[in-house]
Amino acid sequence: EKFDKFLSVLELKALQIALTKPSPAKRLLQCFEILDAIHESSSIQQLIESTIADSEKINLGELLLSSDLGASTSGKKVAAAVLERLNTHVLIEERASLEAPNTLYVEQILPKKASQYWETHWPEEELRQLYINKLVNMCLLSTRPKTTAAFSKKKERYVNEPWPLTNHISTYDEWNPKALGDNIVKLDGLIQQVWGLEKSSSSTLLENLNNQVSDSTQQKSKVKKGDQSEAVPLWAKDIVKGKRIEYYWDNELQWCSAEVIEDPVLKSEKEIMVQLKFHDDEEKHSVSIRNADKEEALWRLL
């Protein structure tokens, strides 16, 4: 039992190193400090106190949930190890066995490249970008992920996986901010159980998520479509009456500065119609503005 507790302390320290990414020299120094602490400590509690401070433990919980682990190959390896550990803990608690698959993959449920399905079901692009690489948006798979598939298709695979946390994802009707928030609470509770990270870190992340969802709703400018009031997509929230922009007219005139003289009219999630008054000749034109990559966009803010 004592040996198991020593291993738990070492695991926690290894997690800290993986998340904080100290330099090789500092990492080596920390390893020697652990060995010295093991040699000198007369109790597990003393070892814990000499190895990692309470403030560092709190920070670890926040780092696990808020780090963009899915943004890099090394980060995904950390995410895979953490999720495997949490899933194993759940299996032990449920007294269930695991037939370990030959391969292990990490899937980002909300994909990096949004298909039409995900643009429709999670239209707030800025919100998507904030959470696609978080641990709470990931799950383990035993087969290669189909990243851009609709959530209904993903669920069909999740329910048959050997990993209980992946099975749990399949219980959601949709993968949206509410489901993501529920998963934050679930993972945070498991992280506290497994590594003794006593102070909850989910409250801050949940508050941030709720604020961001609220802000994205409030920041959508109101425009008219027929007799109904519709919301401008988040990417176009700054294109309002009185705003100055540049519009690419053609290859001869190229970029022309203009002022938005009427509130935009929504055509689709990717396109709005805008009334512009061009500064060079004072002429007024109604133009189409679409959401596109910077290299392809025909407009830019001044």
Helices (H), the chain: 2-20, 24-40, 44-51, 54-66, 73-93, 116-121, 125-131, 151-158, 164-169, 177-195, 202-218
Contact 84/140 with Cβ under 8 angstroms?
Answer: yes
DSSP secondary structure code for residue 83 in this structure:
H
The values of phi and psi at residue 268, to 5°, are -160, 180
Q: What burial class does residue 2 get, using C-beta atoms within 10 Å of its C-beta: 0-12 exposed, 13-18 middle, 19+ buried?
A: exposed
| pTM of this prediction exceeds 0.75 | no
Higher-confidence position of 60 and 150: 150
pLDDT, tens only, 224-276? 443 334 556 666 767 888 888 888 887 777 888 888 888 787 777 677 788 88
Q: What burial class does residue 205 get, using C-beta atoms within 10 Å of its C-beta: 0-12 exposed, 13-18 middle, 19+ buried?
A: buried
DSSP secondary structure code for residue 8 in this structure:
H
Q: Which residues pair with 231 in a beta bridge?
A: 222
The three-point CA angle 114-222-121 to 5° equals: 25
State the distance between the two ends of the chain, measured CA to CA, in whole angstroms.
65
**Among positive and negative, which fits the CA dihedral 186, 192, 193, 195?**
positive
pLDDT, tens only, 87-129? 999 998 888 877 777 889 999 999 988 788 888 878 777 788 8
Highest mean pLDDT of the ranges 1-15, 54-68, 146-160: 146-160
Q: Which two structure tokens, joined as six digits, stand for 163?
A: 């990993």
Contact 83/103 with Cβ under 8 angstroms?
Answer: no
pLDDT, tens only, 18-70? 877 878 887 777 777 767 766 676 555 555 555 666 556 657 777 888 889 99
The type of residue at 22 is P
The torsion angle over the Cα atoms of residues 69, 71, 75 and 80, rounded to 10 degrees, is: 70
Q: Which two structure tokens, joined as six digits, stand for 22?
A: 């100290």
Q: pLDDT at position 3, please?
A: 60
Contact 20/10 with Cβ under 8 angstroms?
Answer: no
CA distance linking residue 84 with residue 163, whole number of Å = 8
Cα separations in angstroms, 160 against 108, 142, 175: 17, 10, 18
Contact 57/196 with Cβ under 8 angstroms?
Answer: yes
